[in-house]
């Protein structure tokens, strides 16, 4: 088991946005999380690497309780995260964006970090762009750099929060392709997405969230063809 979340609750003030969430992710699995806006998907991902603190429940990554971890960098090393809006550092080249964290955290020498980064740039199809600045890249290219950066530390699990939602339609495919390749290479992934085609094709399981709850969890085949709840049926009919 890579990740095990049990009965987690998250409040913003009095607003309970995660209500008794439990799920787990096994090594090599791809889990897609779908659901309407405001259902708690981003908050859930952010809790998994302690960008947000939970108020109840437990989250274990690789068997270790994350709320008990003294050094958050050890957790972040195991978890790669990719956001909707890339968050690349504008004043650093593509290569420096990727190598910065491991060098600053003394996890790798500069040479080691660069060798690894160049291999990752090849993997995401951006070898020729290593020395350019993010502003010269398209949205799809930026997101592929962000994926390479998240992979640089050698994470055991990758979290994606709507990685293609901010992209022009013609760039969605190139990013989904990189994610699909990653899944096929055996990476454990949790992906919040509106791309139902990707979920159907790549996910081992799909989780449907609404109102802070996991309402349904099933294989994509079952969930998309036989949604059990009215809420999931309504959601799917609005997006498919
Ligand atoms: P989703 O990603 O599914 O659209 P979110 O996790 O972003 O949903 O939001 C879930 C709920 O939590 C929403 O009601 C949202 O307004 C609220 N929320 C999210 N982030 C914060 C925050 N930093 N402070 C207060 N409320 C928040
Ligand atoms: Mg969100």
pLDDT score, position 3: 97
Tell me the whole-structure pTM to 2 decimals: 0.96
Which is the closest atom of ligand 1 to the Cα of 43? 6
Ligand sitting nearest the alpha carbon of 35: 1
**202: how many CB neighbours lie within 10 A of its CB?**
20
Separation of alpha carbons 215 and 100, rounded Å: 40
pLDDT score, position 240: 82
Q: What is the pLDDT of residues 56-115, one digit of tens each?
A: 999 999 999 998 888 888 888 899 999 999 889 999 999 999 999 999 988 899 999 999
153-168: b or e for each residue (b if 16 or more CB lie within 10 Å)? bebebbbbbbbbeebe
Separation of alpha carbons 25 and 41, rounded Å: 16
Q: Tell me, using a 6 A CB cutoff, whether residue 39 lines ligand 1.
A: yes
Separation of alpha carbons 168 and 159, rounded Å: 21
- For residue 189, list its beta bridge partners: 30, 158
Q: Tell me, using a 6 A CB cutoff, whether residue 38 lines ligand 1.
A: yes
Q: Tell me, using a 6 A CB cutoff, whether residue 212 lines ligand 1.
A: no
Q: What is the mean pLDDT of the chain?
A: 96
Q: Tell me, using a 6 A CB cutoff, whether residue 214 lines ligand 1.
A: no
pLDDT score, position 230: 97
pLDDT score, position 233: 97
Which residues of the chain, if any, have pLDDT below 50?
none
Which is the closest atom of ligand 1 to the Cα of 37? 4
Separation of alpha carbons 209 and 184, rounded Å: 25
Q: Tell me, using a 6 A CB cutoff, whether residue 53 lines ligand 1.
A: no
CA of 72 to the centre of ligand 2 (A): 23
CA of 53 to the centre of ligand 1 (A): 13
pLDDT score, position 73: 84
pLDDT score, position 71: 86
Q: Tell me, using a 6 A CB cutoff, whether residue 193 lines ligand 1.
A: no
Instruction: Specify the residue with its C-alpha closest to ligand 1, atom 19.
Output: 43
The answer to whether ipTM exceeds 0.85 is yes
pLDDT score, position 213: 98
pLDDT score, position 70: 86
């Amino acid at each position: 088991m890579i990740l095990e979340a049990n009965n987690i609750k998250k409040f913003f003030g009095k607003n309970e946005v995660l209500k008794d969430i439990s799920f787990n992710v096994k090594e090599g699995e791809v889990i897609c999380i779908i659901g309407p806006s405001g259902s708690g998907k981003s908050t859930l991902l952010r809790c998994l690497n302690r960008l947000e603190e939970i108020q109840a429940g437990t989250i274990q990554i690789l068997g270790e309780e994350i709320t008990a971890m003294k050094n958050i960098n050890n957790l972040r090393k195991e978890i790669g995260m990719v956001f909707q809006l890339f968050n690349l550092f504008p004043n650093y080249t593509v290569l420096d964006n990727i190598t910065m964290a491991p060098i600053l955290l003394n996890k790798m020498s500069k040479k080691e970090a660069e060798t690894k980064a160049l291999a990752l740039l090849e993997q995401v199809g951006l070898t020729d762009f290593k020395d350019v600045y993010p502003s010269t890249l398209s949205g799809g290219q930026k997101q592929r750099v962000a994926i390479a950066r998240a992979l640089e530390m050698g994470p055991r699990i990758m979290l994606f929060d709507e990685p293609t939602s901010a992209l022009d339609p013609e760039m969605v495919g190139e990013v989904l392709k990189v994610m699909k390749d990653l899944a096929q290479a055996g990476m454990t992934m949790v992906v919040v997405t509106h791309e139902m085609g990707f979920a159907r094709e790549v996910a081992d399981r799909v989780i449907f969230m609404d109102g802070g709850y996991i309402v349904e969890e099933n294989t994509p085949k079952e969930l998309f063809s036989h949604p059990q709840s009215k809420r999931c049926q309504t959601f799917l009919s609005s997006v498919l």
